[in-house]
Structure 1
Amino acid sequence: MPMKDFSILLGVILIVIMLIIPLPTGMIDFLIIINISIALLIILVSMNTREPLQFSIFPTLLLLITLFRLGLNVSTTRAILGNQGDAGNVIETFGQFVVGGNALVGFVVFVILVVIQFIVITKGAERVSEVGARFTLDAMPGKQMSIDADLNAGIISDSDARDRRKKIEQEADFYGSMDGASKFVKGDAIAGIVIVIINIIFGLVIGMGQEGLAIGEAAGKYTLLTVGDGLVSQIPALLVSTATGIVVTRAASEGNLGHDITKQLLAYPKMLYVAGGTIALLGFFTPIQAGVTTVVALILGVGGFMLERNEKSIPELEEANGDGEEVEEDIKSPESVVNLLQIDPIEFEFGYGLIPLADANQGGDLLDRVVMIRRQLAIEMGMIVPVIRIRDNIQLQPNEYSIKIKGNEIAKGELLLDHFMAMSPGVDDEEIVGIETVEPAFGLPAIWIAEDMKDQAELAGYTVVDPPSVVSTHLTEVIKRHAHELIGRQETKQLIDHLNESYPTLVEEVTPNPLSTGEIQKVLSSLLKEKVSIRNLPIIFETLADYGQMTKDTDLLTEYVRQALSRQITKQYVAEGESLYVLTVSGSVEKLLADAVQQTEHGSFLNLDPNTMQSIIESTMTEVERMQETGQMPIILCSPAVRMYARHLLERYIPHIPVLSYNELESYIEVQSVGVVNVK
């Protein structure tokens, strides 16, 4: 255990000892000085913190220091009443020297200190703590929404968002703890009064009854010591109470308390002239001695003059340096060059005409839609969508937008904010007229219609969509199509860490042996590339645990995982109680593919001659087009042995057509073949 931690534990044990075992007067003197030192340290730290969370341990520290002070009161009371008034040098010094040996004066000073602490500082700090705790809890939802908005706008990163959320939680916990901890200070003040009264009463009883002193002599002896003990206790208590008030009334700022007071109190030098003139007039027109007021007035006047001179010199210095020098220094700094290398995973840029789409003050809800997109894709695809950077770009046309993945433009589109996009049901209505366009997400023909034609178009069977829905749908589909590019090793590590919280044994069996994070990432990327959700990570890792010892071929491992996800894949392509219509791969084509597989130390690949390859591709595309003409979604079905190779062969030409194997379908599904892929 570190020495610092051990010292804290030892201190708590010492407090318990103080409550039970009588301490020698030398030890009591030492502990009294320690008490005063800790109180000074606490108030100095509280004055130098910029925000309350920098002193987050203060509520617990307040409890410990209060308990320490009460334990010290018990020890001093035992010493005063049990040692015939021998309570140590420190208490005697406070009783004789600090209050001049006058017990009555000392008692009055003690009462004043208690009133200041209990009525003024403690009550105020308690009220501020209570209000701060309530307001902090009430403001939490708004702060959380603000963080989500900044995160989706790309203003902050995921780690920044996590830090800010953690800070909000810590603030709520801190102010809640301070609300309760302030009661310790209040109780300490009450206990101090009670202890002093007890010491005075029983001191008189012991002095007169046991020591045979006269009432005046007993009162002078024990009252003086009790008042000294009270002052020794209440001065540190007052310092700690003041520190409590400083901490709970402290707002986040650029500097410590001294910096903020001098900066803000002396922000208006001319006001020092006014204050100085007022003090000078008091000296001339009242019986107050003019010498005192004149000195103070001169100090205020000189201070105002010096502050004004400094304020004038700062703008001149800035003007002499110029903004160009600052920019030049910023360009020369290595940090600015590093920042230029940053590439955002997803960027959404738009022309100035689409600014109302993202501006909440103009009714834009794009940021809220981005939040929903990220949540939707987390549920559907099981992946954490990176922060989407949203920004305007004057190089784009006013109504144009662009979607980039890792710095490269993937898709673009055009919106008319004062129109609606209408897509025909198949039979066009001549009365529905507008500006011809193409629906950007799926490439369907559409028209932009005016708002007054919206109801008529809906009655005619058109699908009518507002511009924000158009762009959010497009963005969603682009992210789905390129999800495999967005999941790298870092994102995979986040998913593994999340799974490890619930399935530590399973994760331990898969990674780092036999599979590295990079190999797991390739499997997940291959699944996402074919639009297979990776949300069911436990099943994926169970399969990797079963087959990871047998092979490191990530393509083969992906096939095993797909088969383990057969129920999920089946529900993805066919509804319950319906048949699955597919294009089957003929036995001759499957044999050609199987014979053309070449095994190497780096994996397997397909080695077909160009003519055969072209023939298979043309046959497949012909059957796909014929199936699309009938209004059915094309799905290619083949045996498990060649599914991976068939997919690799066709993905360049028809990337969006799913290729399934028999083992990826549940046995209860009725499969109907509507076409066969052959070699021409």
Structure 2
Amino acid sequence: MATAFRHRLMNNRDILTAIGVVGIVVMMVVPLPASLLDILITLNISGSVLTLMLAVFTVEPLEFSALPSLLLIMTLFRLSLNISTTRLVLLNGYAGQVIQQFAQFVIRGNIVVGFIVFAILVIVQFIVITKGAERVSEVAARFTLDAMPGKQMAIDADLNAGIINEQQARERRKEIQNEADFYGAMDGSTKFIKGDAIAAIVILFINIIGGFISGVVMQGLPLLDALQKYTMLTIGDGLVSQIPALLISTATGLVVTRASSDSNLGEDLGKQMFQNPRAMYITAGVLVVLGLLGLPPVPMFLVAAVLVGAGVLLERKSKVSDVVDTEAARNSEIEESKKPENVLNLLHIDHMELELGYALIALVDVQQGGDLLDRIVLIRRQIASELGFIVPVIRVRDNMNLQPNQYNIKIRGAEVATGEIMPEQYMAMSNGFEDESLPGTPTKEPAFGLDAKWISAMYREQAELSGWMVVDAPTVLATHITEVIKAQAWNILNRQDVKTLVDHAKEQAPAVVEELIPDLLSLGQIQKVLSNMLRERVSIRDMITILETLADQAHTTKDTDRLTEHVRQALARQILQPLLGKDKTLPVLTLDPQVEQQILDSIQPSDYGTYLTLDPKVLQVLMQSLSREVEKVTLKGYTPVLVCAPLVRINLKRVTERQIPQLLVLSYNELVQDVQVQAVGMVGIERAS
């Protein structure tokens, strides 16, 4: 029965809180008996002590995030008690045993002492604690808001570097927002405490004057007796209110002044104030000197002896602790080395890695002005927007085996690109009309292989005026990373990435996903189709169209190459859009019909897809002919595009992608009706002689 009642009580805490707040407001209007008032005053004192204890044991300010609202409720509760006690004092000349005994206990019945103690409490609360807590809250709120953009960028950088995952990043962002809201609320809630202190002073004089008039006029007491009686009650009432208010103010100050720590206030003070024996010895020496100079020797020497003894014990404990820690660390290393998990961790391979020589570390150090991690975040967003591909976290680390200015880009532990940049210089890239007299170190632009020079900052303006394209070193590296990702996206994509993309599409079109997977195609087959698309830098952002096309065609074929061609046809406008001019004309190369038929006849199926079985000599002649035609088209200012039959397209692209990577190969089915095709050349084997 008791357990059920406790559970019901805990489950309805919100209702109890609402009833309590309403009850506090009702107290201001409804007269309360003195016995009930004694209980409520005791609750006020105990609640204030409890709040102070919670503040002492709080590790992080956000652990006590309800404090701003609690301050308002406690302040309202104290004011309600003030009104209730004032009503009883003025009506009956008695406000309960707690106020009566409090006045006798604290001030011993002395009115002058009572006034002084009350004034000191109000001054300490109003000027010292509340004013300081208000200022700390205001500054903390302002600095928290100002620091939010930098903290957000730091979270993005940690996420990009692989230090945290997406879930941890979301939690950190939410924590930053909650911290800003907390200090903003604390800045406002401290005004309640200040107003409460002012109200206490006003209520004090109202009670004394009103009580004096009530005692003389309504109860017929002599002037001195009335003044003595009501002043004592008023001071007792004021002390009963102000001591809890002082505790609440102290709790507020403790919470808002808490710095970042892993332990509560008591543990921090114990560790930090009593961690240095030399400080204790010096303090003891100062006390001894003061005792010898004339101050009371007994307390001075007694405290000095305690400090010396504590310092000796601390030194011994520190030595023993060092020995124990050393032995524990050695045993821990032995135990860790025996665990199989340590071997398993060595098997982990990052999707992508960026290794930097020691001279390039400044590019990722925010304190030195490095913004490479922020650039990588932008690269990931750019790739997601252009290719619809979620770039995995790029692990950035230093490699002392590299040259100082060298960097490596790795995919699954294998190096796919390397380069060398000069972090303090600019790269000036040739456009064919450069000034040969420009001083600099000749080099090659790593992403596109253009002729370039490394120049110092003083020659930047001269290079730009001479027709060079000038960029800084981080931009060179970021561009290289971008191009590597675009070129290797098909190789980076794995089944887990595909599942993420499919799950995202399922939120918008669950029917097509449920129809396709797993009954028609597996994730592995979809991955091969998407890899084929990314291999030719075709965006897979329109995932719903891709899945719908696969669902339509998977009934007739499971060949991923054929499925890829169907998907490309569905995305034809997207593929053609970047190739068209203003008049929607597409200059293309075509294959000689005999060559096209020869290629069709040489296509052979296998367990790994289709492949060409052309005679190597014929293939060599074909490549030479294609290279010449591509060069002619490029000199005319056109993008080299070859149009052929759908079955020929993917096999021919795989043959040409290494020797002629700039050649785009389209099928006839990808040419939409409103596109004007202009043939600018024909590729034939006989032309390669």
Same fold (TM over 0.5): yes
Name the TM-score, length of structure 2 as normaliser: 0.79
Unaligned 5+ residue runs, structure 1? none
SS in 1 for 2:28: helix
The residue type equivalent to 2:315 in the other structure is: E
Residues 511 and 251 of structure 1: is their aligned pair in 2 closer, same or farther, counting only changes over 3 Å?
Answer: farther
| Offset from partner CA, 1:113-141 (integer Å, 9 cap, x none) | 11111111111111222222223333334
CA distance in 2, matches of 1:221, 1:514: 89
The residue type equivalent to 2:654 in the other structure is: E
- Is 1:21 paired with 2:30? yes
- Is 1:233 paired with 2:236? no
2:654 corresponding residue in structure 1: 651
SS in 1 for 2:447: coil
CA contact (8 A) 2:426 2:472 kept: yes
The residue type equivalent to 1:55 in the other structure is: F
CA distance in 2, matches of 1:283, 1:616: 107
Shift of 1:533: 2.9
Unaligned 5+ residue runs, structure 2? 1-9
Alignment of 1:440-451 (within 5 A): 440-442=446-448, 444=449, 446=451
Residues 65 and 385 of structure 1: is their aligned pair in 2 closer, same or farther, counting only changes over 3 Å?
Answer: farther
CA distance in 2, matches of 1:637, 1:351: 45
Deviating more after overlay: 174-183 vs 354-363: 354-363
Alignment of 1:438-587 (within 5 A): 440-442=446-448, 444=449, 446=451, 468-488=474-494, 506-508=508-510, 518=523, 525-535=531-541, 537=542, 540-541=543-544, 544=547, 548=551, 562-563=568-569, 565-577=571-583, 579-584=585-590
2:299 corresponding residue in structure 1: 292
| Counterpart selection for 1:343 from 327, 346, 349 | 349
| Offset from partner CA, 1:390-435 (integer Å, 9 cap, x none) | 2222334555432111222222345577998787768999999999
SS in 2 for 1:651: helix
| Offset from partner CA, 1:227-283 (integer Å, 9 cap, x none) | 333222211111110011111222112322112222222233233233334334444
- Is 1:672 paired with 2:681? no
CA contact (8 A) 2:604 2:613 kept: no
Alignment of 1:161-240 (within 5 A): 161-240=169-248
Shift of 1:183: 0.7
Residues 542 and 183 of structure 1: is their aligned pair in 2 closer, same or farther, counting only changes over 3 Å?
Answer: farther
1:71 corresponding residue in structure 2: 80
CA distance in 1, matches of 2:26, 2:655: 80
- Is 1:132 paired with 2:140? yes
CA distance in 2, matches of 1:313, 1:559: 74
- Is 1:274 paired with 2:282? yes
Residues 176 and 597 of structure 1: is their aligned pair in 2 closer, same or farther, counting only changes over 3 Å?
Answer: farther
Residues 470 and 273 of structure 1: is their aligned pair in 2 closer, same or farther, counting only changes over 3 Å?
Answer: closer
CA contact (8 A) 2:130 2:193 kept: yes
CA contact (8 A) 2:540 2:546 kept: no
Deviating more after overlay: 402-411 vs 261-270: 261-270
Residues 136 and 457 of structure 1: is their aligned pair in 2 closer, same or farther, counting only changes over 3 Å?
Answer: closer
| Offset from partner CA, 1:139-177 (integer Å, 9 cap, x none) | 334444444555555555555544444433333222222
Residues 549 and 571 of structure 1: is their aligned pair in 2 closer, same or farther, counting only changes over 3 Å?
Answer: closer
CA distance in 1, matches of 2:320, 2:162: 39
SS in 1 for 2:416: strand
CA contact (8 A) 1:615 1:679 kept: no
CA distance in 2, matches of 1:36, 1:141: 42
| Counterpart selection for 2:114 from 80, 83, 106 | 106
Deviating more after overlay: 323-332 vs 125-134: 323-332
The residue type equivalent to 2:246 in the other structure is: L
SS in 2 for 1:673: strand
Residues 526 and 48 of structure 1: is their aligned pair in 2 closer, same or farther, counting only changes over 3 Å?
Answer: farther
| Counterpart selection for 2:69 from 60, 72, 82 | 60
| Counterpart selection for 2:259 from 244, 247, 251 | 251
CA distance in 2, matches of 1:307, 1:411: 57
CA distance in 2, matches of 1:418, 1:123: 50
CA distance in 1, matches of 2:324, 2:434: 71
Shift of 1:619: 8.2
1:626 corresponding residue in structure 2: 628
Residues 197 and 676 of structure 1: is their aligned pair in 2 closer, same or farther, counting only changes over 3 Å?
Answer: same
CA distance in 1, matches of 2:675, 2:229: 100
CA distance in 2, matches of 1:439, 1:2: 66
SS in 1 for 2:409: strand
| Offset from partner CA, 1:180-216 (integer Å, 9 cap, x none) | 1111111111122223333333333333344444444
- Is 1:122 paired with 2:130? yes
SS in 1 for 2:417: strand
The residue type equivalent to 1:373 in the other structure is: I
CA contact (8 A) 2:133 2:256 kept: yes
Residues 105 and 8 of structure 1: is their aligned pair in 2 closer, same or farther, counting only changes over 3 Å?
Answer: same
| Offset from partner CA, 1:344-392 (integer Å, 9 cap, x none) | 2221113446556656788866445434433443443344433322222
The residue type equivalent to 2:99 in the other structure is: I
CA contact (8 A) 1:509 1:545 kept: no
| Offset from partner CA, 1:496-554 (integer Å, 9 cap, x none) | 88889xxx6x355555676589588776555433312345x5xx436746975885879
| Counterpart selection for 2:391 from 385, 393, 401 | 385
Residues 39 and 455 of structure 1: is their aligned pair in 2 closer, same or farther, counting only changes over 3 Å?
Answer: closer
CA distance in 2, matches of 1:110, 1:299: 35
Shift of 1:35: 2.1
CA distance in 2, matches of 1:675, 1:302: 98
Residues 613 and 634 of structure 1: is their aligned pair in 2 closer, same or farther, counting only changes over 3 Å?
Answer: farther
The residue type equivalent to 2:308 in the other structure is: G
1:310 corresponding residue in structure 2: 317
CA RMSD of aligned residues (A): 4.6
Residues 343 and 57 of structure 1: is their aligned pair in 2 closer, same or farther, counting only changes over 3 Å?
Answer: farther
Residues 8 and 486 of structure 1: is their aligned pair in 2 closer, same or farther, counting only changes over 3 Å?
Answer: farther
CA distance in 1, matches of 2:510, 2:211: 70
The residue type equivalent to 2:189 in the other structure is: A
Deviating more after overlay: 191-200 vs 463-472: 463-472
CA contact (8 A) 2:442 2:454 kept: no
SS in 1 for 2:261: coil
Deviating more after overlay: 361-370 vs 574-583: 361-370
| Offset from partner CA, 1:8-58 (integer Å, 9 cap, x none) | 333323323333434444443333232222222222222222332332332
User: How many residue pairs were aligned?
Assistant: 661
CA distance in 1, matches of 2:679, 2:530: 30
Shift of 1:112: 2.0
CA contact (8 A) 2:426 2:473 kept: yes
Residues 340 and 69 of structure 1: is their aligned pair in 2 closer, same or farther, counting only changes over 3 Å?
Answer: farther
Deviating more after overlay: 654-663 vs 554-563: 554-563
Residues 136 and 586 of structure 1: is their aligned pair in 2 closer, same or farther, counting only changes over 3 Å?
Answer: same
